[in-house]
Every structure is written in C-alpha cells, then in structure tokens.
Amino acid sequence: MQVTINGKDEKLFGNPPEVGEQLPKFKLEDAQGNKVKTADIIGRVTLISSVPDIDTPVCSIETRKFNQQADKYPDARFLTISNNTLEQQKDWCAAQGVRNLQLLSDESLSFGYAMKLYMPNFGALARTIFIVDKTGKIVYRQIVPEITDEPDYQDALSALEKLAKRVDD
C-alpha cells in the first residue's frame, strides 16, 4: 500500500488490516516503560491513532484533538502510537498537558510491522485511525493518504459513536 509525504510516494511495509479483521499481536510501551500487548487492549472499545512523529505540528494537533474528545467517550479508550522514544513522548505530554489519552511508544516497531503501518524508507508510522470493538475486531479504518494532512476526525468520531456513548459537557 502507498501513501504520500509532501506529494512523494512512500510505501508501507505491507497491506494494513481491513475492517472485520482482528488486531494482530504486537507489543508497545507505556510512559512507565511497561509492556502493553494486544491482549491488554482487547476488552474495551478503543480508538487507535498512529502518528509519524509526535514532535511535528500535524501529529501534535491530531493528538491534542483526540485528547480533547477522549473524556466525552467514557466507555472508550483513546491511544496514540508513534515510534518516538518514551522520553520524547513524556516531554511532549508534559508540555501539552495531555492527560485524557494514552501515548504509547512503538520504538521497537512491533506495532508498525504487525499492522503493516511502518514506512521503511521514511522510518516512521503512517498516519492512521483504527477503531476496535471489545473483542479486538477492527470496525473502522482510516489511512490518511497524505501524511502531512490531518485525518477526518468527524468520520472517526461518528464511527466511534456507534460503539461508545458520547456524553456532552
């Protein structure tokens, strides 16, 4: 599968999983350095956002927007995954005041390879949104065709609302 970066073609490691498929097995790290496996994600409706580099403007905007939405969906978990180091992610969260979602590191690229979202020539993950149900089945997939563009937030949140009740403030 292909995406673009500033209009230049960039190949993904393979073809990412489709709607209806189960999440593959992968391991990530949380802010405390604990392993987070696929099995730890299953059991709760989850919106997974993968970003190329949390320290870039579009990734930062995207993650802050999902952080603002997370508390409106108490039944859902919001995860943002990048292959930044834990230290880079901690510094970013502290600077941005992000507390409603969980930032996970895929520095080992386990998620990137398992989900086929790694861009080997670019050295980062593609910009995507996946929503999985409580059983780990993928019910929504958005692969942003141009990495420098923001995702379609409304489309993703509309899909999430089919599984998780929204509470308005």
Q: Are 46 and 35 in contact (CB under 8 A)?
A: no
User: Which element (helix H / strand E) includes 68?
Assistant: helix 57-70
Give me the active site residues, please: 59
pLDDT score, position 167:
85
Q: Tell me the domain boundaries of the chain.
A: 22-162
Six-digit token pair at 102? 């969980």
pTM of whole model > 0.85? yes
pLDDT score, position 117:
97
Instruction: Going residue by residue through the chain, which has 169 residues, state the pLDDT in tens, using 9 for 90 and above.
Output: 789 999 999 999 999 999 999 999 999 999 999 999 999 999 999 999 999 999 999 999 999 999 999 989 999 999 999 999 999 998 998 888 887 889 999 999 999 999 999 999 999 999 999 999 999 999 999 999 999 999 999 999 999 999 998 887 5
Give me the sign of the Cα torsion angle 27, 76, 70, 20: positive
The C-alpha atoms of residue 22 and residue 130 are separated, in whole angstroms, by: 11
CATH topology of domain 22-162: Glutaredoxin (3.40.30)
The C-alpha atoms of residue 10 and residue 26 are separated, in whole angstroms, by: 23
